[in-house]
């Protein structure tokens, strides 16, 4: 498809297990963001990738969270030793380039993570 | 100084009425103000955006009003329809910066 693709759409895991969430951005989009959205809440910035630049990891809540982006395309968000408070929808967004009208973010449908 | 404050948290409007959502910011350097619309189970999608060199921008039934001196901007939905029921997020950023500063969201319900 032409949109941002995220997988899995739903993930249920046990506390303490590791999870990987995948994001396939729109082809040609150089910017990629990960956000976290808890139930009924706003968007919490996690990490930003732009081209080959060093990512902005300032939003990662703890060292259990990490993300990588291979070949400037697909990104994986990894949460190690999951905790119940990690339960949320993880949203990925991509953009052709940052800034003004060209900076529209295109979001995927999210990966809903439930930690039991 | 980086906050964007959005109100109300939730809003119920009768079909055909006007829905109004407000946002206030502190950083006068912000120069891009988008609104995103999110339906349940979906990611947010850009609805409409404005730059501070204009006071109003209209796209169909959706209008952004911008008050630079008051550091406020608002979304008006005219002739609100049940299909407009969604969560709306305002945001702000610097043109030179990739980071959007998001409001907390407003859950809008349009009653038929």
Per-residue pLDDT of A40-77, as tens digits, reads 788 999 999 988 889 999 999 999 999 999 887 999 99
Predicted local distance difference test score (pLDDT) of residue A39 = 82
> Taking an 8 Å Cβ-Cβ cutoff, which residues of chain B contact chain A?
31-32, 34, 36, 41-46, 49, 51, 89, 93, 95-100, 102-105, 107
Per-residue pLDDT of A35-44, as tens digits, reads 999 887 889 9
**Pairing outcome for strands B106-111 and B101-102:** unpaired
∠A72-A74-A76 over CA atoms, to 5°?
A: 115
Chain A residues closer than 8 Å to B97 by CB: 98-99
Interface test with A, best of B43, B88, B108 (most A CBs within 10 A): B43
Which of A41, A50, A110 is facing B98, going by the closest CB pair?
Answer: A50
**Residue range B50-61: mean pLDDT, rounded:** 93
| B110: number of Cβ within 10 Å | 20
Q: Is A100 helix (H, G, I), strand (E, B) or coil?
A: helix
Predicted local distance difference test score (pLDDT) of residue A14 = 97
**Pairing outcome for strands A65-69 and A75-79:** antiparallel
């Amino acid at each position: 498809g032409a949109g941002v693709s995220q997988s899995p759409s739903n993930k249920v895991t046990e506390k303490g297990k590791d999870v990987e969430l995948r994001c396939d951005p729109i082809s040609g989009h150089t910017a990629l963001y990960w956000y976290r959205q808890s139930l009924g809440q706003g968007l919490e910035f996690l990490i930003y990738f732009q081209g080959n630049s060093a990512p902005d990891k300032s939003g990662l809540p703890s060292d259990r969270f990490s993300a990588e982006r291979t070949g400037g395309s697909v990104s994986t968000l990894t949460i190690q030793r999951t905790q119940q408070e990690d339960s949320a929808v993880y949203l990925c967004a991509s953009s052709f380039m940052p800034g003004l009208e060209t900076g529209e973010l295109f979001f995927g449908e999210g990966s809903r993570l439930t930690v039991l | 100084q980086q906050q964007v404050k959005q109100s109300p948290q939730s809003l119920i409007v009768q079909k055909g009425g006007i829905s109004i959502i407000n946002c206030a910011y502190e950083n006068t350097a912000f120069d891009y103000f988008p609104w995103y619309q999110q339906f349940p189970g979906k990611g947010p999608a850009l609805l409409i955006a404005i730059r501070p060199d204009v006071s109003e921008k209209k796209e169909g039934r959706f209008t952004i009003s911008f008050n630079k001196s008051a550091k406020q901007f608002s979304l008006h939905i005219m002739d609100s329809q049940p299909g407009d029921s969604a969560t709306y997020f305002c945001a702000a950023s610097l043109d030179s910066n990739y980071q959007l500063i998001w409001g907390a969201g407003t859950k809008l319900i349009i009653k038929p």
